[in-house]
Structures are given as structure tokens and as C-alpha cells.
Chains A and B, each alone.
Chain A
């Protein structure tokens, strides 16, 4: 996935708090999950269950790195996961949590 960031999408910083866009629906599948954004009408695929767990738990963590650690992603494996989250943020599937909302 190499779609350019859409207008209005926030730059992804893994040290910030993120959550799924409220208009995004998640459908778990054997290979990972399908995501559908009712606002942009875009479909995305999560290609394994780990990234699904990360995406679903983002809102419970103070920043994306904490969600990755909690899902068992080790530092050596971080690259593809950070890239995937960046792509999702670029297509507005993920949105930053405003500072006053963050845990």
C-alpha cells in the first residue's frame, strides 16, 4: 500500500495517541481484517491478526508504541508495523487523539 496521504490526514507519529476513525468498520477475517471507512468509502486490508490487535487496541494506549508493545511486536519487527500504521493514518483510517482526550 503506497497511497499518498489524503488532504486533511495527519502525519503519523508513533509517540502520539491514535485511534480508529469513528466512521471505520472492522471485519476480522482469517487473514487479518477488512477495514471500511464510511466517510471516504475506502477499503483497506490488515494482513495479519497482530496488526488487527494493534489497531483495535490503539485507543487504550497513551501512544502507538505502547499498543505495539502490548500486542507483542518486538523492536526488531517494528518497521513494517509502523509503516502499516502510517499508511492507515495517511488514508484517515486512524486519527490522532486530541491531547485533552488522551489517557
Chain B
């Protein structure tokens, strides 16, 4: 999503829209990898995951609400046997699809069919510009798998795939290398913030960029970020420079302009907030997605003016708005205080105090939390690909 900073609109957006601008939809908790920072603690499929018909009913509703596109993730969404059927259905119903994958199913055949569609975007996750850095986080062989997917897409003529990087202490100095990789495959670089959500809660202390690295990241974004996507995820850094220096709306969109639908139909305020505290309702048991979006008490509360709390006296509050709600919550910091990575340094002493970190809600990890990827019995190859125009 490309956005332009428009202060008056930000105020409108803080009061929420009748429908999300886009939303994240995690189709399955099943995954062939076991990344140490997985936001959704994915691994094993949840037996209650939505059926194909349930998913199509959600797409019908998104079409009625004019949600322009969905960011599909998981888990590894392409391991769902009906994945390509759902992609086809969404694009035929004017709901564009961007999906995130570790590349496991992006064979030359799939790449060729993707290249023939104008309405599907592919994001290949990669958390190191070298196998050593990537595989330490995403598991052995995952770098080679992602690169093979990028090669297949490029060879098939798929233009402008995204390379999606979660910025960590170990890859933050590889940003130029990531940009070079993207350029090699005709792709666009997308970098996002490491959140202490899901299994990420276990590794955040060791993996999140240091204060010096945050400054370097900010400077890199200002200097070289024009063609780099960020999903607006670094707004906590905006106090480091002039207002508007960072592209994007630079606000927390949770429950206001974005949300998450999880594999069992639970609706959360944002993809980084899978916890009962941020659960707004369920598409099956609460009268459909539109009803949850418009009427859930949690979302109504998030659209009310928020207290600046301890940040009220800080001159940078207008820039960072107190930072990321989920980052505060999962590190055990007060919601009306500084972000754990506050660029004014107010996060560090807060982190040093006694904290009570909430446990993530669901754990779908293979055999408890561990680092090795676990082979899945993969399902049948896709029957159809997106060949219909959404407009």
C-alpha cells in the first residue's frame, strides 16, 4: 500500500472507517517452517479452521464492504488445499490478493500461472540476506527455498514480487544487500518491524534492533526508502526527524483501518495482537465480519480518542502517538506509556523494571516451541489459478 501523509485524514482514520482499507487474513496455522519469531505461533493446523464455504462467504462480505484487497498469510497459506480456489474466488469478486509465503509451493508451474494474473501479489519472506542470518531465524533450508521461489517467479516473468523482511538485530546491517537482492529478481523490498507477538515474545529481547540500530534504520529509510515498502510499521521511529520524513500515515491502524481474521474466524485488532485482550469477535458466531468490524465494543473503544498517558508531556507524541499497542502489551508495558523501542529512550528504563509479560493466546507450534522445521504432508497441487479480473 502506498500512502501519503495527510494530517487531517489521519484524524479521520483514527475515528475508524466503515470498512477496513485492507486486512490481514491468516488462512491456516499449518506451516512447514517454525520461525522463531512467528507472530501467530504457527505450526499445526487448527481443526476448527474455516471451511472453503466459510471463506467464500467472508470474501462475499469483503466485496460488499469494498475492501480492496486482503493480505493473506498464515501459517503457510499455500498448504491449504483450497488456497488457489480461494485466490481465484477473491479476485473474481473484486477483492485483490497479496499473499505471504515462504516459497515452498512456488514451483516453476505455479510461478508461470501467477505471472499470467494481474491481480495477485506475492510476498516472499526472507529474514537474512545470507543463508546464515536467515536460517538462524527461519530454519535450515529456508533461505534456499525463498531464493528458489524468487528465481522461479523471475524466470516466469512475474514482475514486482515483494521480498518481505522482518528487521532484526542481525539483519539490520544487511539492508543494502536486501535491496540488491530485490533488484536482482525484479522485486520490491518490503521491511517491517519485529513484534514481540506469538513466538516472537520469546526472542524479542535478543532479536529486536538496538537503539543505535534503530537510528541507522531510520536514516536508511529516509535516505534510501523511497522505493521500499514498510506497511507503515516504523511509525515509532518518526520522532527521530522532521514530521513527514517517513513515508506513510504513521499511525496505529488497529481496529480503525486494519484488522486480522485468523484461521478459525476470530477477528483481532491487528496481525500483531493475537490475544484475548484484542479479540473483537468471530465471523461465524457474531453475525459476520461486517457486524464485528462496525459494532464490536473493542473496535469502538479503539476508535475513541486515546490517552497519551505518560507520553503526554513528550514533545514527540504527535509524531509517534505512543508507538505500537501490541509491542507494549506483549512486553508487559503499560498501554498508555512509551513504546519499548521509544526513540527518546523512555522504553529502556520501563523494560528494566519488573514486568508481567502476558502469554500469547494460542500456541500452534509443532510439538511445543522449538526451532527445527517439521515436514508436513503436503496436499494436492493447485487445480486452478487466478485467471479472472477483479474489475
Which residues of A have CB within 8 Å of B3? 43
In the assembled complex, how far is the CB of residue A92 from the closest CB belonging to chain B, in whole angstroms? 12
Alpha-carbon distance A66/B116, docked complex (angstroms): 39
How far does the alpha carbon of A13 sit from the alpha carbon of B1 in the complex, in Å? Answer: 28
Q: Are A47 and B6 in contact (CB under 8 A)?
A: yes
What residues on B are CB-neighbors of A23 within 8 Å? 118, 391
Question: How far apart sit A38 and B120, CA to CA, in the bound complex (Å)?
Answer: 9
B94's partner among A1, A25, A34, A41 (CB-CB below 8 A) is: A25
Question: Does B4 lie within 8 Å of A1, measured CB to CB?
Answer: yes
* Contact present for A38 and B390 (CB under 8 Å): yes
Query: Shortest distance in angstroms between B17's beta carbon and chain A's nearest beta carbon?
Result: 6
A and B contact pairs by CB, cutoff 8 A, 16 listed: A1-B4, A2-B4, A23-B391, A24-B391, A25-B391, A27-B66, A29-B12, A31-B12, A38-B390, A41-B2, A42-B2, A43-B2, A43-B3, A43-B68, A47-B6, A47-B9
Task: State whether A45 touches B391 (Cβ < 8 A).
Answer: no
- In the assembled complex, the Cα of A41 lies from the Cα of B97 at a distance in Å of 10
Nearest CB to that of B3 among chain A residues? A43
Asked if residues B9 and A41 are in contact (CB atoms below 8 Å), the reply is: no
Query: Residues of A contacting B325 with CB < 8 Å?
Result: none
Given that A22-B391, A30-B12, A43-B1 are known contacts, is A38 also in contact with B18, CB under 8 Å in the complex? no
Please encode chain B, from 1 to 22, with 1 for each CB lying within 8 Å of some chain A CB and 0 for all others: 1111010110010000111010
CB distance from A48 to the nearest CB of B (A): 10
Taking CB atoms, residues of chain B closer than 8 Å to A39 are 118
Find chain B residues with CB under 8 A from A1 CB: 4, 6
Q: List the 10 shortest-distance A-B pairs measured between CB atoms, nearest first.
A: A36-B68, A27-B66, A31-B12, A42-B2, A1-B4, A23-B391, A43-B1, A38-B391, A38-B96, A45-B9
Question: Using Cβ atoms and an 8 Å threshold, which residues of chain A touch B272?
Answer: none
Residues of B within 8 A of A42 (CB): 2
Interface residues of A in 38-65 (CB under 8 A from B): 38-39, 41-45, 47
The count of residues in chain B whose C-beta lies closer than 8 Å to any C-beta of chain A is: 23
Give the shortest distance, in Å, between A6 (CB) and chain B (any CB). Answer: 11
- Residue A98, interface by CB 8 Å: no
A31 to B96 CA separation, bound complex (whole angstroms): 24
How distant is the Cα of A38 from the Cα of B92 in the complex, in angstroms? 13
B residues within 8 A CB of A47? 6, 8-9
Q: Is the CB of A36 within 8 A of B69?
A: yes
| Chain A residue with Cβ nearest B118 | A39
Chain B residues contacting A76 (CB-CB under 8 Å) are none
Bound complex: CA A47 to CA B4 (Å): 12
Instruction: Indicate if the CB atoms of B121 and A41 lie closer than 8 Å.
Output: yes
* B329 interface contact, C-beta 8 A: no
* B9 A27 Cβ-Cβ under 8 A: no
How far apart are B166's CB and chain A's nearest CB, in angstroms?
21
Task: Report the separation of the CA atoms of residues A27 and B98 in the bound assembly, to the nearest whole angstrom.
Answer: 19
For A24, the chain B residues whose CB sits under 8 A away are 391
Q: Check: B83 CB closer than 8 A to any chain A CB.
A: no
Q: Is there contact, CB below 8 Å, between B21 and A34? A: yes
Bound state CA distance, A22 and B389, in angstroms? Answer: 11
| Shortest beta-carbon distance from A32 to chain B in Å | 9
Query: B12, A38: Cβ atoms under 8 Å?
Result: no
Contact indicator B4/A3 (Cβ below 8 Å): yes
Structural contact, A27 and B68, CB atoms closer than 8 A: yes
The reply to whether the CB of B119 lies closer than 8 angstroms to some CB of chain A is yes
How distant is A41 from chain B, measured CB to nearest CB, in Å?
A: 7
Residues in A whose Cβ lies below 8 Å from that of B119: 38
Nearest A-chain residue to B9, judged by Cβ: A45
Q: Given A29-B17, A43-B68, does the pair A38, B118 have CB atoms closer than 8 Å?
A: yes
Q: Besides A25-B66, A38-B96, 14 other CB < 8 A contacts? A: A24-B391, A25-B94, A25-B391, A27-B19, A29-B17, A29-B18, A34-B21, A34-B68, A36-B69, A38-B68, A41-B1, A41-B69, A45-B4, A45-B9
Chain B contacts for A29, CB-based, 8 A = 12, 17-18
Taken together as a complex, chains A and B put the C-alpha atoms of A31 and B381 apart, in Å, by 45
